[in-house]
């Protein structure tokens, strides 16, 4: 007898028939339905208007409601903004009237499992074997990692790839607004936030889930994206025994990521003096990874930085271990590769790192204790 997921998959495919061809096209990353007769796709990194269309707005609305049923959500005037997902893991965001003047607007960000494989990212040129080995050592050494980047830059894909280096025997608690992470380990607890009902009851926030996760005996906590006051809870948990945790946020440089995290932490009800907050952030976050989407649609890992202690002036300091160097001609945006900056890792003398580096070859120069 078909299970619930199979039934919904068949139903969704029926109602989303006008765009199902794009769902099966690996070169298409996103589908943007602005109106029943106005559908765009992001194909090979560029926006393309298609000839696909739904019969009318009611048909589109029926398709949306069937998608939302899969995650037990609903759309009405009191809930005009909804995040959901398809049975294959693709993320769906819906906006309806009165917030969207034209009617129902839908964006589907496709689930691309191949992008979550670290070796696949090496083949694509997103990172090198040297960078892969560097990440393996620091993730296995339980360093806290923050992935930064702009909208649709590939933060979640990169977080998935980094999480693949977590040892399989560890217990992971993953927290998200809408499940996108696909962790490969055996022992994973996935938690998902919940919007309030029509009477404002039953809301469960990322902050609520994070506090709950600390009572679930996690070895590591992975937050799909930190967006608010839960940032302070995460920072303090990272400092108090939950090493090796990971998250993402929106920022344009690795240094900006620390300032952004500071701003989010200040949204928490607990107020800390600025210097104390900054000191906690630099103690909690070990590694910053920046992913960038270029104007031509290409995505690349462009900066890998280690967090240093606060400067004498109280400002954040980082040191870039890998930096993106352009190799193409002028105007060829995004043509380049990650290059070691020549700086040695600040973690090279730590016991866990020393043990792991002894079995590696490509990063010996980065983790060599000799100065």
Same domain for 131 and 33: no
Do 31 and 151 fall within a single domain?
no
Residues 124 and 256 in one domain: yes
Q: Which of 67, 83, 109 is the last residue of a domain?
A: 109
Pair 164, 287 in one domain = yes
98 and 128 inside one domain: no
Instruction: State the pLDDT confidence band at 154, using cuts at 50, 70 and 90.
Output: confident
Q: Are residues 93 and 142 in the same domain?
A: no
Q: Write out pLDDT tens, residues 295-344.
A: 777 788 999 999 999 998 999 999 999 999 877 654 455 578 889 999 99
Confidence band, pLDDT 50/70/90 cuts, at residue 100: confident
Same-domain check for residues 331 and 207: yes
Range of the domain at 178: 113-367
Identify whether the C-beta of residue 293 lies closer than 8 Å to the C-beta of residue 152: yes
Q: Helix 230-239 to helix 254-265 angle, to the nearest 10 degrees?
A: 110
Helices 57-69 & 4-15 angle (0-180, nearest 10): 170
Q: What is the pLDDT of residues 210-261, one digit of tens each?
A: 889 888 999 999 998 998 988 998 998 888 778 899 999 999 999 999 999 9
Residue 75, domain CATH: 3.30.450.90
Last residue of a domain, one of 59, 84, 109: 109
CATH number at residue 261: 3.40.50.300
| Same-domain pairing of 37 and 151 | no
Residue at which a domain ends, from 79, 109, 139: 109
Tell me whether strands 317-326 and 336-340 are parallel, antiparallel or unpaired. Answer: antiparallel
Those residues with Cβ within 8 angstroms of residue 338's Cβ, 6 or more apart along the chain or in another chain: 127, 128, 131, 301, 302, 304, 322, 323, 324, 325
Q: Considering the chain, what is the average pLDDT of its residues?
A: 86
Look up residue 14 and give its two tokens.
Answer: 């029926």
Please tell me whether residues 162 and 142 are part of one structural domain.
Answer: yes
Same domain, 274 and 233: yes
Residue 9: predicted pLDDT: 67
Say whether both 56 and 198 belong to one domain.
no
Give how many domains the chain has, as a whole number.
2
pLDDT at 331: 47
Q: What are phi and psi of 3, to 5 degrees?
A: -85, 175
Residue 357 pLDDT exceeds 50: yes
Q: Which of 78-82, 203-207, 276-280, 346-350 has the lowest mean pLDDT?
A: 78-82
Are 99 and 118 in the same domain?
no
Residue 245 CA to residue 234 CA, distance in Å, equals 9
């Amino acid at each position: 007898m078909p299970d619930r997921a199979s039934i919904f998959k068949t139903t969704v495919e029926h109602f989303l028939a006008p765009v199902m061809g794009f769902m099966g096209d690996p070169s298409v990353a996103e589908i943007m339905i602005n109106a029943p007769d106005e559908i765009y796709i992001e194909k090979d990194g560029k926006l393309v208007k298609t000839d696909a269309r739904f019969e009318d707005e009611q048909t589109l609305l029926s398709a949306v409601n069937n998608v939302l049923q899969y995650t037990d959500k609903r759309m009405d005037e009191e809930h005009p903004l909804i995040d959901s997902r398809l049975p294959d893991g693709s993320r769906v965001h819906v906006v309806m009237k009165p917030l969207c003047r034209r009617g129902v607007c839908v964006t589907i960000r496709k689930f691309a499992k191949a992008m979550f494989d670290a070796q696949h990212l090496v083949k694509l040129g997103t990172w090198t074997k040297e960078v892969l080995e560097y990440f393996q050592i620091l993730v296995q050494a339980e360093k806290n990692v923050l992935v930064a980047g702009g909208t649709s830059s590939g933060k979640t894909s990169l977080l998935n790839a980094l999480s693949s280096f977590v040892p399989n025997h560890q217990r992971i608690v993953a927290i998200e607004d809408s499940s996108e992470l696909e962790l490969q380990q055996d022992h994973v607890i996935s938690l998902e936030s919940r919007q309030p009902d029509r009477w404002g009851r039953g809301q469960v926030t990322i902050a609520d889930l994070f506090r709950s996760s600390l009572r679930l005996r996690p070895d590591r906590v992975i937050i799909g994206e930190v967006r608010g006051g839960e940032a302070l809870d995460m920072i303090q948990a990272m400092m108090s025994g939950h090493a090796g945790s990971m998250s993402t946020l929106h920022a344009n440089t690795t240094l900006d990521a620390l300032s952004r995290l500071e701003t989010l932490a200040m949204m928490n009800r607990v107020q800390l003096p600025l210097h104390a907050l900054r000191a906690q952030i630099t103690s909690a976050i070990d590694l910053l990874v920046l992913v960038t989407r270029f104007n031509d649609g290409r995505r690349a890992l462009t900066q890998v930085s280690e967090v240093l202690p606060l400067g004498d002036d109280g400002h954040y300091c980082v040191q870039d271990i890998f930096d993106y160097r352009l190799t193409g001609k002028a105007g060829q945006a995004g043509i380049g590769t990650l290059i070691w900056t020549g700086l040695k890792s600040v973690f090279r003398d730590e016991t866990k790192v020393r043990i792991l580096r002894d079995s590696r070859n490509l990063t010996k120069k980065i983790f060599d204790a000799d100065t």
